[in-house]
Amino acid sequence: MFDYSLVHWTTFLTAAVVLNLAPGPDIAFILGQTARGGRRAGFFAMFGIWTGAFGHVLMAALGLSAVLATSATAFTMVKWVGAAYLIWLGIQALRSGGDKYVSGEGAGRASGSARIFRQGVLVALLNPKVAVFFLAFLPQFVVPGAGPVPAQLFLHGVLIIVVAALIEPPLVLLGERLIAGIKRRPSFGLWMDRVLGTMLVALGIKLALSDRAG
């Protein structure tokens, strides 16, 4: 069971690394929260994204993602909810005064960490293109005779998250170090909120205008 060739693993892991390095709502959210609340906020954002991604892996393994891939109504409903949520997060950042960067407001609070975690889960779960992507991507690595298809889909999906666990924590730590050197500048917090807010709104609009094949 799960008997794969070296070529198989090399191809899959290369694709997984590229996938996790590709910019998108998840990376934007993780780095944005790192800028706002330091490594603690960045890690909780990261854990939330991973949890949401795990939900997509389960759906792909169980075949539920096929509903989003084949039903225009289901896809559109989830797409609009996800787009609205990203835009709402962006507007919240745009309306912020930026002082939290200097004061560290909420960075160490358990309630703030839980809120960031929940937001991360929703950012990942409410992106139907991620579900469709997993449904299209994971079957490419199913090998006849290597094990039950759902088990193979689940294994490769979880490994994508494992690769993320190797790539994203250093990004959070590096981001925190870079930001720490300039965060005392008076205009830094406001500037970061504007950049993060604009990025999230743009990603929300992009998701709203997308289709299942795009």
Asked if 81 and 163 count as a contact pair (C-beta separation under 8 A), the reply is: no
Tell me how crowded residue 102 is: count the other CB atoms within 10 A of its CB.
13
In a domain, 94, yes or no: yes
Rounded to whole angstroms, the Cα distance separating 78 from 85 reads 11
Instruction: Using CA atoms of 103, 106, 109, 111 in order, give the dihedral in degrees to the nearest 10.
Output: 170
- In this structure, the chain runs to a length of 214
Q: What is the pLDDT of residue 2?
A: 81
Is pLDDT above 50 for 42?
Answer: yes
In a domain, 86, yes or no: yes
What sign for the dihedral angle of Cα 204, 40, 121, 127?
positive
Strands, E assignment, 124-207:
none
Which tens digit of pLDDT belongs to each residue from 77-129?
A: 777 877 787 788 778 777 765 555 444 444 445 568 899 999 999 988 887 76
In a domain, 213, yes or no: no
Which tens digit of pLDDT belongs to each residue from 5-17?
A: 899 999 999 988 8
User: What's the domain range around 26?
Assistant: 6-208
Residue 3, Cβ density class (10 Å: 0-12 exposed, 13-18 middle, ≥19 buried): exposed
In a domain, 1, yes or no: no
In a domain, 214, yes or no: no
Q: What is the pLDDT of residue 110?
A: 58
Q: What is the pLDDT of residue 98?
A: 54
Is pLDDT above 60 for 195?
Answer: yes
Is pLDDT above 60 for 45?
Answer: yes
- Total domains in the chain come to 1
